[in-house]
Structure 1
Amino acid sequence: MKEFDYKKLVIATDQFSPSQLIGKGSHGYVYKALLLDHHQEDKDYDKHHKVVVAIKTPSSLLPSSPSSSSSKSEQTKKLENEINVMSSLPCNQHVLRFLGHADKKLMVVEYMPNGSLHQLLHVSAAPIHTWLKRIDVALQIARAVHFLHERGVIHRDIKSENILFGSNWEAKLADFGLAVDMAGEKARPAPAGTIGYLDPCYTSPENLSTKTDVYSYGVVLLEIVSCRKAIDVSRSPSSVVDWAVPLIKEGRIGEVCGGGGGGSDVFRGMNLRLLRMAARCVSSDVESRPCFREITAEIVACMAEPLKSLPLWVSVLRRVVQLKRRKKRLRETMTWPGQTCRVW
């Protein structure tokens, strides 16, 4: 775990300038910063190379913070917990990369330039890419949570605001302030999470399990498919779960799918499977909820589903293309005196 100089990080954020602020969380603010990247073991490396990072600090550390002493203590504990959990995890392509900290007061992570899934679904004017890309995002996050669960970590705050996009639009799970390391915890903490995503069955510390994350993930999956917020007080019912699950049970899949061409007949079989799985994730019967190994396998199977429903002419066209490619390779075969040479 790399230790950064606290003063240098403060300078890198321009003294926590509002112009550098890129996000606010439940227990801190996130700032964009430019840091010197030193690789002293690499002699050919430019020691003045700068990298863009994100620096997270409890709002209680900010000069203008009006927080009470109790809330300051709570924010600091959450950041310390986030640092402890993230520093204990090996790197994973679907989890936000932890780079280090300064006195456990500031945390440094990779910078994700394309915002959050919440912004993309509910704020941005542009739709979130294609339908299959949206489902691929769901798959990446399922793999992230599966990775955590295999290492005994329960996230407890899976939501669209905590799913961030990198420069190549890869999705990563972030914000581990509420995460619990089941192996390292002596006593389970009190229930916590975000309204709309919080498992209603998680009512006491003893109820905490991996299925708690499964419920939250199910809400995110419904959010991705429907483009509807987890809680929207302007609608009735306001909860995406209360709205979508009855429609799924009635087979009214087209009414749940929102934008990106997801309502087309080509994707019907895929969406039916996806939404049935989402309904299982948010089931009030905790034991019937799938684990993330099953969820990832099912999404992979769902993404192959549209190929089964392609019309016959598409299959014929694909066969014609394959034959043309084979003929082209044969034409590239040149015969020389006494030998045959194929040019690739």
Structure 2
Amino acid sequence: MREFSYEEVEAATGGFAAKNLVGKGSHGSVYMARLRYGAGGGGGRRRVKGVVAIKKASHAQGEAKLANEIAVLAAAGGMDGVVNLVGVVVAPAGAGGRKGERMLVMEYMANGSLHDLLHRSPKPPPWPRRVEIALDVAEAVRALHAGEPRVIHRDVKSANILLGRDGRARLADFSLAVKVPAADDDDDSRAPDDAAGPAPAGTIGYLDPCYTEPGRLGPESDVFSFGVVLLELVSGRKVMDVNASPSSIVAWAVPLVAAGMARQVLDGRIAAPRCPKAERAVARVLAVAARCVSEFVERRPAMADVVAELHGALESAGWPRRRRAHGLAGTLYRRVVSWGASHLHVRRSKIECTEHSGSEGSCAQPDHPCSNPLASCSNENILE
């Protein structure tokens, strides 16, 4: 992991100028910069110049959360589906930043967040693209839960799912993540109710209602949040909409699915699936989402089961999935992507939603009358 000097990062961001600001949250801000850093493996590491994202805390509490994020990402070690850690910055005495201040340098995700893609893009993504994104994120969460120690993200949401130029989705923002010991096979993986731990945290709308005290934290909390993301992907609706009744996406969508009216949940901005295979694939995604957001923790599936279902949905519909670039080819690809990132602002709206735009057209006999699997999705009890 490369350690960058405060001076080179300050220069690369134009003194953390507003024109380079790409994101801002309650704990800090993210800036775009072009830096030289190591690429390649073993003894063949070379310095390449590429576009990166630099996360800078805005206050002392933010610095503690950023330090936690750096530790978690360093331990993840380039895990598929997780945003890559490039390096860190430590401000020495006398530098422009606070003494000892640390900043996070990570890969720059050129196509923004899933939240923006769903709620701000002029062209909403088609069904194959949505399932593909869901599978990318599900695999990342599964890997985090399978590690030793396992990692509970605690803030899985569409704004923390970033999209790269390679078309793949990656999970980001590990400021609230917690490491917990892996449990025995016959354990439920949650800490005892009286165990010490961080206070419940997350984002309203995505936060597991069963996570009410430190001892209740477990992988099931991430499963619930991921289920909310699935509902958001399928419906295109905001997770909390004060202008709707009910305002919660869970309280709105789950009863409709349980009543056999799943079609009313589908994003009306794009055409409903037009053939049996596509209908069954989307129905399968909704069924998984319903299980994930069950108010009964023990009924929620493990992320390994979620991955299997989403992979099955994608394959059963005949929707292709793009491959990740690895090794030397991946390094060269990322270098080309980095050099072209300065042109993204004028091209992004044209490229971010075009993948698989004609995939559903390949279904045999799209107008053939058939039973609607979206009308028969089973579901768990709803959250009130």
Normalised to the residue count of structure 1, the TM-score between the two structures is: 0.81
Matches within 5 A, 1:193-342: 193-258=202-267, 259-266=269-276, 267-306=278-317, 311=364
Determine the structure 2 residue equivalent to 1:122.
119
Please state how far the C-alpha of 1:260 moved relative to its aligned partner: 3.7
Query: Are the counterparts in 2 of residues 257 and 263 from structure 1 also a CA contact under 8 Å?
Result: no
Q: How many residues align?
A: 298
Percent identity (aligned): 45
Letter in 1 for 2:161: I
Larger-Rg structure: 1
Distance (Å, rounded) in 2 between the aligned partners of 1:313 and 1:213 = 37
Matches within 5 A, 1:84-123: 84-103=71-90, 105-123=102-120
Determine the structure 2 residue equivalent to 1:173.
171
| Larger RCO (alpha carbons 8 Å, 6+ apart) | 2
Distance (Å, rounded) in 1 between the aligned partners of 2:129 and 2:27 = 31
Structure 1 position 52 matched with structure 2 position 63: no
Q: 1:310 to 1:82 in 2, by over 3 A?
A: same
Determine the structure 2 residue equivalent to 1:23.
23
Distance (Å, rounded) in 1 between the aligned partners of 2:105 and 2:197 = 27
Determine the structure 2 residue equivalent to 1:132.
128
Secondary structure of residue in 2 paired with 1:175: coil
Letter in 1 for 2:54: I
Distance (Å, rounded) in 1 between the aligned partners of 2:228 and 2:294 = 11
Letter in 2 for 1:117: L
Letter in 1 for 2:8: K
Determine the structure 2 residue equivalent to 1:182.
180
Unpaired runs of 5+ residues, structure 1, are 60-71, 315-344
Q: 1:73 to 1:263 in 2, by over 3 A?
A: same
Query: Are the counterparts in 2 of residues 28 and 56 from structure 1 also a CA contact under 8 Å?
Result: yes
Query: Are the counterparts in 2 of residues 253 and 268 from structure 1 also a CA contact under 8 Å?
Result: no
Please state how far the C-alpha of 1:268 moved relative to its aligned partner: 2.0
Please state how far the C-alpha of 1:311 moved relative to its aligned partner: 4.8
Distance (Å, rounded) in 1 between the aligned partners of 2:69 and 2:366 = 53
Query: Are the counterparts in 2 of residues 254 and 263 from structure 1 also a CA contact under 8 Å?
Result: no
Please state how far the C-alpha of 1:24 moved relative to its aligned partner: 1.1
Unpaired runs of 5+ residues, structure 2, are 91-100, 183-190, 319-361, 368-384
Determine the structure 2 residue equivalent to 1:154.
152
Normalised to the residue count of structure 2, the TM-score between the two structures is: 0.73
